[in-house]
Amino acid sequence: MEPTTIHAGRMRLTGDVRAPASLAVADLRELPQRETAVSFECSTSGLRRHRFAGPLLIDVVHAAQPLFEAGERKDRLRFLVSVFGADGHHAVLSWGEIDPEFGNTQVLLGVSMDGRALDEQGPHLVVPGDRCGARNISGIAEIQLARLRAARFPG
Ligand SMILES: Nc1nc2c(c(=O)[nH]1)N[C@H]1C(S)=C(S)[C@@H](COP(=O)(O)O)O[C@H]1N2
Ligand SMILES: [Mo]
């Protein structure tokens, strides 16, 4: 059997959204671009510094039209944003963390790193302020939005 292949450089937007999508890095360049420099530490690789350019994550996930409940005040604060690298490395952010009215963290989806385009590798999650590099996920294959519901308060 053929091994499962993931389209190089393409990223899927999935989960509790009205408009799931498969985006190329070139599509991410159509959105307003930001630039940022980050430095972070890792117990195995030491201090790293990188420059990134790309759209804000919040703009990308908004475009997928998350299924926020109409009339539910601040329903978006119940959403998780899970980011999966093509190699299986993954981490979870919250909607509130990147929402301009709440955490307002300027999380980017990098389309270039240190001046090199990332079209082949796929976009790179950039979380400014993180002291450790584990959420600086390279080669993103999928971003999945999920609304959590408590067992006690279904629906
Ligand atoms: N896809 C993917 N991204 C990843 C990782 C990984 O294993 N896979 N490791 C993370 C960790 S733990 C660190 S410290 C940084 C390392 O970044 P560097 O490549 O600049 O050293 O990448 C992060 N992004
Ligand atoms: Mo790390």
pLDDT in tens, 58-93: 999 999 999 999 998 899 999 999 999 999 999 999
pTM: 0.93
Give the domain ranges of the chain: 10-147
Residue 45 CB less than 6 A away from ligand 1? yes
Residue 147 CB less than 6 A away from ligand 1? no
| Band of pLDDT at residue 9, cut at 50, 70 and 90 | confident
Residue 43 CB less than 6 A away from ligand 1? no
**Sequence-separated (6 or more) residues with CB below 8 Å from residue 126:** 36, 38, 52, 54, 107, 108, 109, 110, 136
pLDDT in tens, 98-128: 999 999 999 999 999 999 999 999 999 999 9
Residue 85 CB less than 6 A away from ligand 1? yes
Residue 41 CB less than 6 A away from ligand 1? no
**Residue 50 CA, closest ligand 1 atom number:** 20
Ligand minimally distant from the alpha carbon of residue 113: 1
User: Which residue out of 44, 45, 121 has the highest number of ligand 1 atoms within 8 Å of its CB and is therefore the one to mutate?
Assistant: 45
Residue 48 CB less than 6 A away from ligand 1? yes
pLDDT average, residue stretch 128-134: 96
At the topology level of CATH, where does 10-147 sit?
Sulfite Oxidase; Chain A, domain 2 (3.90.420)
Give the Å distance between the CA of 132 and the centre of ligand 2.
6
Largest CA distance in the chain: 49
Q: In what order do the strands lie in the sheet with 34-40?
A: 34-40, 48-54, 112-113, 116-117
Contact 32, 54 (CB under 8 A): no
Q: Which pLDDT does position 149 carry in this prediction?
A: 85
